Amino acid sequence: MTRPLALASAVPSLRQGARLAAAGLVGAAMALWAAQGRASEDVIKSYGIATFGTLKYPADYKQLNYVNADAPKGGEISLWAPGTFDSMNPYTRKGRAGALSSMMFESMLTSTADEIGASYCLICTTLEYPANKDWVIFDMNPAAKFADGTPVTAEDALYTYELFLNDGLPSFRAVLGRLVEKAEVLSPLQIKFTFKADAPRRDVIESVGGLPIFSKKWFVDNKAGLDESRLEPALGSGPYVLDRYDINQRIVYKRNPDYWGKDLPINVGRNNFDSIRIEYFGDSNAAFEGFKSGAYTFRIENSSKTWATGYDFPAIQNGNVIKAELNDGTIATGQSFVMNLRRPMFQDIRVREAIGLMFNFEWSNETLFFGLYERINSFWENSELAAQGLPTDGELKLLQPLVDKGLLDKTILTDEAVMAPRSSDRQLDRKNLRQASKLLEEAGWIVGDDGLRRKDGKTLRIELIDDSPTFDRVINPFIENLRRLGVDAVYNRIDSAQYTDRTRNFDFDIITDQFPMGYEPGSGLKQFFGSETADESVFNAMGLKDPAVDSLIDTIIAAKTKPEMITGVRALDRVLRVKRFWIPQWYKDKHTVAYYNMFEHPDPLPPYSLGYLDFWWVNPQKEAALKASGAF
């Protein structure tokens, strides 16, 4: 049972400044000046960049290793999404963006599903940068076009960057603003980013190269801003465009037959579906019934109960639907109950630890999940980045100065990494109950005659909110255990719109959230765990503000080698876990999927992506047979 990852948002505004010089002589002069200025530096010119090591694919690669270059184009894949939508702008906190509404946009660089830390040119053909990464120039592909056929230019890239810098999510703006000194157009197809002298260099190029690029003309003509809710999507250059939508019912994207990048080596064997349809349902139970009836054709199953007991319907039995477990080599999503540190009662770590003791994973796994899950312990679970046992010598070198400054308790140097508490096979573990009771009493929360704990005359009232009925069977036993502890605990299941509003405004005590971490984390850590953006960042749900965490994040960003980065991440993981602001839930190293028997995929799949919207395809003969049988 997992929650779908939330759409990442980022935000822009309007460009007020330099204009692109359109005259050919002026453009040529600028390009010549730029080339002369670079001649004296040791400049690297490449088709991609790897954070550590080298790129897997050579400059003359023809396709990615894991795709089927002969995959047929055509057919439709359909999915489900929960709740509602009222916007097609995924880069604002206003409104609820439609599913996949960011898929229409491309960036200078893109990644692959079989490498870590590698970025290849997509809209650019090459990038140029000095060894010290003080700046980068992207040389853009003259063939790149927006969906309306207009060219993608350096002015569009600059305009988009300034939108994000001025109107992006506050947490994103803060990170971007600390990296870039200036951005400038050198020629119609060249843009240069100069980085601040004190900006960490490891992922600065990837950070700006990963920005989506919008059409400046579209924004100007429509008097549009980034930080607004609207149903007309901005103009992008990606392989799919919006076809149609019915509010709160469905969204359909169609493959652009004139997509400029369809023959690029990076795109061979990809973007195979003619259309991608999303059907909206009120909850997962209703969505499952819809899948059984053929309302949509591909389902990632996030309910262990449904996976274990629900897939016995006729379409499974007659082979029309395939049920499959596919290997998943990715980092666990960090799904967890998250406590809002902005609330006074959670500022005492003893309270947080006591609350965490009351969630019984072992009982839940056997009783509710059919033994399908493993417990999450680390923010980098299922990877080499997870802290293990006692600190290594490298970790101690990072942690000791923070202890000396009084930012961390000295036990961080001698204790093993915090693990999630273990419980018995009974819903209420008596040992954990006694330990939690002792912690709350030490914190001043005393049990009254009515069985509830009070401090300064107020009960220890905690509300847990969620919008998914499939989580009821998990949350209700947790609430019962908390009440046995004397906590005035309540569970409030609310609709999706309320949930979105309350979580964005940090109006909650405990929610279920996720911390999707990367294999080579960098500046993005500031949005999840950094103090500077904690009051605005939708990713830092708990509102963590901790100088020791900030210091370790800076160390990780500044790491020049992969071993340095790994050591820094393990130290950060160790510190985050000791803060006990989360109650880690569960994960599995398998993708549990069900789909109508017309989809095919490369075998084996790449290690870092299921790729069902990327490099799967429809077998037209199987699709025709299913349609003829009335399967959907």
Domain boundaries in the chain? 24-64+90-221, 240-329+589-629, 336-580
Burial of 304 per CB tally in 10 Å (0-12, 13-18, 19+): buried
pLDDT at 435: 98
Contact partners, residue 64, CB within 8 Å, separation at least 6: 57, 112, 113, 114, 265, 266, 268, 269, 270
Query: Distance between CA 508 and CA 310 in Å, rounded?
Result: 33
At 255-273, the pLDDT tens digits run: 999 999 999 999 999 999 9
Mean pLDDT of 465-475: 93
The model's pLDDT over 190-229, given as tens digits with 9 standing for 90+, comes to: 999 999 999 989 889 999 999 999 999 999 999 999 999 9
Mean pLDDT value of segment 269-280:
98
Q: Sorting pLDDT into bands at 50, 70 and 90, what band is 3?
A: low
**What are the structure tokens assigned to 450, written together?**
């009515």
Closest-CA residue to 143 (of 160, 112, 121, 110) = 121
Position with higher pLDDT, 310 vs 176: 310
pLDDT of 7 strictly over 90: no
CB 576 within 8 A of CB 550: no
Residue 432: φ, ψ to 5°: -65, -35
Kindly state the average pLDDT of the residues 463-471. 93
Q: Give the residue-averaged pLDDT of 87-96.
A: 91
Fold of 240-329+589-629: D-Maltodextrin-Binding Protein; domain 2 (3.40.190)
Nearest to 273 by CA among 622, 4, 592, 620: 620
Instruction: Return the bridge partners of 254, or none.
Output: 241, 275
Stretch 468-486: mean pLDDT: 96
SS3 (DSSP) at 5 = coil
**Looking at residues 85-93, what average pLDDT do you find?**
92
Q: Do domains 24-64+90-221 and 240-329+589-629 have the same CATH topology?
A: yes
pLDDT digits (tens, 9 = 90+) for 494-521: 998 899 899 999 999 999 999 999 999 9
Q: Comparing 457 with 12, which gets the higher pLDDT?
A: 457
Residues 38 and 26: their CA atoms lie apart, in Å, by 19
On whether the CB atoms of residues 1 and 369 are closer than 8 A, the answer is: yes
Q: In the numeric block, which tokens belong to residue 217?
A: 């003309």
pLDDT on residue 41: 65
Tokens coding 161: 């960057």
Looking at residue 32, what is its pLDDT? 42
Closest CA to 460 of 490, 505, 435, 481: 490
Residue 397: strand, helix, or coil: helix
Amino acid (one-letter) located at 132: N
Nearest CA to 84 out of 317, 251, 322, 198 is that of: 251
CA distances from 55 to 10, 46, 52, 559 (A): 28, 10, 9, 19
pTM of the shown model: 0.83
Q: Is the pLDDT of residue 332 over 90?
A: yes
Q: pLDDT of 349-380, one tens digit each? A: 999 999 999 999 999 999 999 999 999 999 99
382 vs 46: CA distance, rounded Å: 32
The vertex-150 CA angle with 147 and 151, nearest 5°, equals 105
DSSP secondary structure code for residue 108 in this structure? S
Q: Which fold has domain 336-580?
A: Dipeptide-binding Protein; domain 3 (3.10.105)
% of the chain residues with pLDDT over 70: 94
In one letter, which amino acid is 339? M
The answer on pLDDT for 339 being more than 80 is yes
**pLDDT bucket at 17, cuts 50 / 70 / 90:** very low
For the cut 70, the answer to whether the pLDDT of residue 432 exceeds it is yes
> What's the CATH code, domain 24-64+90-221?
3.40.190.10
Pull the structure tokens for residue 477. 């036993």
What is the C-alpha separation between 553 and 572, in angstroms, rounded?
7
The HSE-up count of residue 232 (CA atoms within 13 Å, CB side) is 8
Cis peptide before 604 (omega within 30 of 0): yes
Pairing of strands 453-455, 118-121: unpaired
DSSP string, 582-621: EEE-EE-SEEEEEEETTEE--SSPPTT---TTTT-EE-HH
Q: Which of 446, 562, 507 is nearest to 117 (CA)?
A: 562
Q: Residue 378 to residues 157, 342, 567: CA-CA distances in angstroms?
A: 37, 23, 14
What's the whole-number average pLDDT of the chain?
92
